Amino acid sequence: MGGDISRPAVANVHVLSDFRLRVEFDNGETRIFDAKPHLQGPWLGMLKNFGFFDCAFPNGRTVEWPEGQTIEPDVLYDNSVAIAED
């Protein structure tokens, strides 16, 4: 399923309202990721509790939560929208 195109790694993440993430990638890009469509099933569905979702942190490759949930870097990158830096 995976291609050989390497996606940038997550350098930093900021939780925004409405289950969105402001993700800073190691290639210098900053993008907004809407996590709502991905919070499905028993594992990622736990993140529907915003208090838990708010605990997101960068793990050197992607975004992770305290119980070990992650969203793959290619999903974060390919399903996010680039924002212009001021």
Q: Which pLDDT tens digit goes with each residue over 44-64? A: 999 999 999 999 999 989 999
State the chain's maximal CA–CA distance in angstroms.
39
pLDDT at 21: 98
pLDDT at 7: 82
Q: What is the mean pLDDT of the chain?
A: 92
Q: Which strand ranges, in their side-by-side order, compose the sheet holding 70-71?
A: 57-58, 63-64, 70-71
Distance CA 17, CA 34 (A): 10
Distance CA 86, CA 58 (A): 23
Determine if the pTM surpasses 0.85.
yes
Length of the chain in terms of residues written: 86
pLDDT at 4: 47
